[in-house]
Structure 1
Amino acid sequence: MKEQKNSRRQFISKSIVGLSGSILASGLPLSSFAENKITAVDEADSSHDFLTKPYLQAPSSDSITIMWITKQLSLNWVEYGETEKLGTKAQQCSHGMMNTNSKINKVTLTNLKPGTRYYYKVFSKQILDFQPYKITFGDIINSEINHFETFPEKATNISWLVLNDIHDRPESFSQLIDLNQNKPFDFVFLNGDMFNYQTDENQIIENLLTPCNIFSSKKPFMFVRGNHETRGKFSRNLLDYYHNYDNKEYYTFQTGPVYAIVLDTGEDKKDSHPVYGGTVNYDSYREEQAAWLEKQMNTKAFKKASFRVVMMHIPHYHSDEEHGTTECRRLFGPLFEKHKIDLFVAGHTHEYGMFEPNTDHSYHFVIGGGPETGIRTLIRIEANSKILKLQMLNDSGKEIGVFTLNSKRKNL
């Protein structure tokens, strides 16, 4: 959304280098960072605008990442603070250079206070001409003021929503999120197959980022690829549009009583299948994740967590017997048993199901539905140090089932 366009071109005159690749300056207004100068250049391009609102990624107790997309190449920054006066500035900086060669903008705010509300606004100053010894800037546009809250350092509870298998039906985001009925949540987890296949940037904006704007400027979303996110000519570009922890497609995060592991299950067919034309190697990729997974499960944080939760797209049981399924079962299944996870959440089958522990798996096993009306689901998970509750609703709002788990590690 375009909130403001300055009447004349501005140039960045100085900056103060801060920690962790950000440019920080405390307590200074925007005028301290840019001087107004009139130069003999053409008027700024009137198409300079935001293609998305800012959206939040990779939340923690002391950091968060803010992303947005502009129509033109720009010099970009975030101003933020504990009040709507903001007062602190941060920019994306790598190897001493600000990001000016991409319309996809990403700024990570660091050294934040745990359990604190922060207000923020994003700015983009159009680059009209980029010469070796002279950069000509155009107008500055900015978003409205939004806010987010960092996780408490020792959170006592956590709650999140899970969507899966949307398959290029953007209206499903609001229809399913509305089923939550304004109950509080900390983030939304997108458990794969948001798309049928990857075509271009416009598809990502219209079918993911824009529909997520109903929450994503204030509450983050986390993402893991499904098998359909690996398909299409733009699939290699998709990774640029979101930011996971450690910039990986598989990752862990811990907040409060939950230690969560996210795995990227890759494709469901063999790497040698002719549809891939020899362009993929998911077998090695899953092997890599299995070695990494065991290391994570041997950490003190995992062992002491009240609840151990795994989320990934392809379920290794209650599914088909395709190559991706059986490889996930072979590589990940024994580790889930050995290290005693409590809850597993997947999608992929388009048939929702909730399965108690049995001879195949010793943990509660959940598969979300979708994508067609009547079989779509919203999963809500909330936990404190003693109890984790998972509730699944179908798209009419009817409760399909509930799992209530008691922590097995109360004395750790």
Structure 2
Amino acid sequence: MKTNYLILLCALVGLESGLWAQNTTEIEIQPYLQDAEPHRMTIMWQTNTGGESVVEYGLTPKLGKKASGRDYEIDFSARKIHKVVLEDLKRFTTYYYRVKTGKTRSDIFQFKTPPFVQDEKDFRLVAMSDMQFDSHEPRKFHEIVNQGILPYVEKEYGPKLEEELAFVMVPGDLVQSGSVFHQWKDHFFNPAQKLFSKVPVYPAPGNHEHNSDFYFRYFELPKNGHPAYAEHWWYKDHGNVRIIGLDSNDGYRNLKQQMLWLERVLKETAKNGEIDFVFAQLHHPHKSELWIPGEEEFSTKVVKLLEKFTNDSGKPSIHFYGHTHGYSRGQSRDHKHLMVNVASAGGAIDNWGEFEGRDYEEFSISEDKYGFVLVEVDGDRDNPKFTLKRISRGNTITPEDNVRTDSITVYRKAVLPDTPKAVFPVDESVDFKGFVLKAGDFASSMPHAFHGAAHWQISATTDFKKMVFESWKQFENWYYNENRQKDDDLRDEKVHRLSPNTTYYWRVRYRDQHLNWSHWSDAQEFRTSAKTK
């Protein structure tokens, strides 16, 4: 009889424990920040069950205010995503908050609202991509965030992450397969929870997202794109920067609605006196030195629009991308436009020699390493600028601990270098089989400016419409672990065979490291020697 009572008691205890477990709410994805505005912040999180969606917040850790939102399904289980929008916040102000579902509360976190452009506040952002899971390096994205971004920001700027970093841009391939539910929690959100709980994250879809519903449920992106393709393309302003998200994936890159929208946005941005810089992001490269097959024509069209925007408005621009798993930084020849591959934050590195590559003249550096990009934006209305830095974590052969391997500063306003002097040849004869153009020293009134590039042209006509030779060289060209521009002072350029016994005209211009071109030198005439028998 005692045995029967014991069995009954155990069954009741087990039933009660099971019911308790079913009713216990767990936060599976810690709160993360979305769609920040000077007076508004969106907070999202995921729990294992449904229930209330509440954020407690305030200007001190005592909190004191409360806002409610809603939950919605994320898969076919009891799990829910919660979304709460905090309204009527103070601009450029730090808030404390925690989320609450049922009796379950998160830790207390902090965020800082964005400034208005009139506040003239400096800020920083991180750009990284392709953190998709690699079974050979399963904790790489966790490392990029927790041994890379977080300690780097603290060491260089200060311990309060929400004060020192404004937002994160991610141009695609957040997970290995966007249609596999657990990867979002295990491979993207959880490794970066210490970052995303304090700093808003703005992604653009990559090919590995597979246009999944999970992607669009997990993110609350601006709804200012085309209404039929909500969140596929959008823009967001932060201070004096407009960030633009685009969809370069199959099925969307050929939609005329996206290009027409981008044209309209860039046209409006050119006239907008509050925007100094445009930072666009899309997944596929315009050009890829490490992996040519990854290039996409859509991205080339986007680059041409950004170059035109920069040319018409005088406002520098960047397009961030990924897809190729390595870092590259290039710049358009005739425009203040940067092209920056911000991978890899986790995906297996595309090592030199594994795939077809090419040494493009636009690029100053490419490297097969993990890492992230940090951009410092100056909000000064008189002379705003941004500085882009590559922070490397190395690769599996040569690890690196937050080493800065690249940096460039670009100013909104141009201070042109001095016009170079054409030295040789000047009204004289040269060997038609080959000779060397020579120009004078680089000079600029801008402090600390140095010789960044040289552009040489030879034409059969004085208007330079019949070009027979053209060369553009930059002061560095890191390709396949070698600086191919080492020891080139950019003041001379070899010219190979021209037509004999012919009159030509040549000129040169110099660029500084901030992407400012000088005026062209005066055109000089020369003649090639006659062909001997």
Q: What letter matches 1:177 in structure 2?
A: I
Please show how residues 236-275 of structure 1 align to structure 2 within 5 Å.
Answer: 236-246=213-223, 248-267=231-250
User: Is the 8 Å Cα contact of residues 393 and 399 (structure 1) preserved in structure 2?
Assistant: yes
1:323 is displaced (CA, Å) by 8.9
CA distance in 2, matches of 1:56, 1:92: 14
Structure 2 CA distance for aligned equivalents of residues 111 and 178 of structure 1: 29
Call closer, same or farther: CA 1:282–1:321 in 2, change over 3 Å. farther
Instruction: Single out whichever of 383-392 and 175-184 deviates more from structure 2.
Output: 175-184
**Structure 1 residue 158 and structure 2 residue 123: aligned?**
yes
Counterparts in 2 of 1:290 and 1:147: CA distance versus 1, 3 Å: same
The structure with the largest alpha-carbon Rg is: 2
One-letter amino acid matched to 1:202: H
The residue aligned with 1:325 is 296
Aligned pairs for 1:7-406 (under 5 A) are 45-92=22-69, 103-125=80-102, 140-153=103-116, 154-168=119-133, 169=138, 170-171=141-142, 172-178=144-150, 180-182=152-154, 183=157, 184-230=164-210, 235-246=212-223, 248-267=231-250, 281-285=251-255, 287-299=256-268, 303-304=272-273, 305-318=275-288, 325-330=296-301, 332-340=302-310, 341-358=316-333, 363-370=337-344, 371-372=347-348, 375-384=369-378, 385=380, 386-395=384-393, 396=400, 397-406=402-411
CA distance 1:195–1:357, shift in 2 (3 Å): same
Q: Which SS does the other structure have where 1:104 is aligned?
A: strand
SS in 1 for 2:296: helix
| Length-normalised TM-score, structure 1 | 0.73
Q: What TM-score results when the alignment is normalised by the length of structure 2?
A: 0.57
Amino acid at match of 1:346: Y
Given that residues 78 and 120 in structure 1 are in contact (C-alpha distance below 8 angstroms), is that contact kept between their aligned partners in structure 2?
Answer: yes
Amino acid at match of 1:266: N
- CA displacement, residues 84-115 of structure 1 (integer Å, 9 cap, x when unaligned): 3323222225xxxx769861111111221101
Identity %: 25
Q: 1:205 to 1:173 in 2, by over 3 A?
A: same
Query: Which amino acid letter does the alignment assign opposite residue 377 of structure 1?
Result: G
Q: Who is 1:136 aligned against?
A: none
Q: Do 2:179 and 2:209's aligned partners in 1 also have CA atoms closer than 8 Å?
A: no
Cα displacement string for residues 232-263 of structure 1 (whole angstroms, at most 9, x for unaligned residues): xxx22221112212261322122222122221
Deviations 1:333-377 (A, max 9, x none): 332122115222211122321113226x65122112323466112
Q: Note the alpha carbon deviations across 1:63-91, whole angstroms, 9 max, x for none.
A: 11101100112122112222233232222
1:276 corresponds to: none
Q: Is the 8 A contact 1:316 1:328 kept in 2?
A: yes
Distance in 1 (CA, whole Å) between partners of 2:115 and 2:167 is 14
Change (3 A) 1:321 1:376: closer
* 1: CA distance, partners of 2:404 / 2:92: 32
Deviation at 1:392, TM superposition (A): 0.7
Deviation at 1:381, TM superposition (A): 0.3
SS at match of 2:22: coil
Cα pair distance change 1:298/1:260, threshold 3 Å: same
Q: Which has the higher contact order (CA 8 A, sep 6+)?
A: 1
Q: Report how far residue 389 of structure 1 moved.
A: 0.3
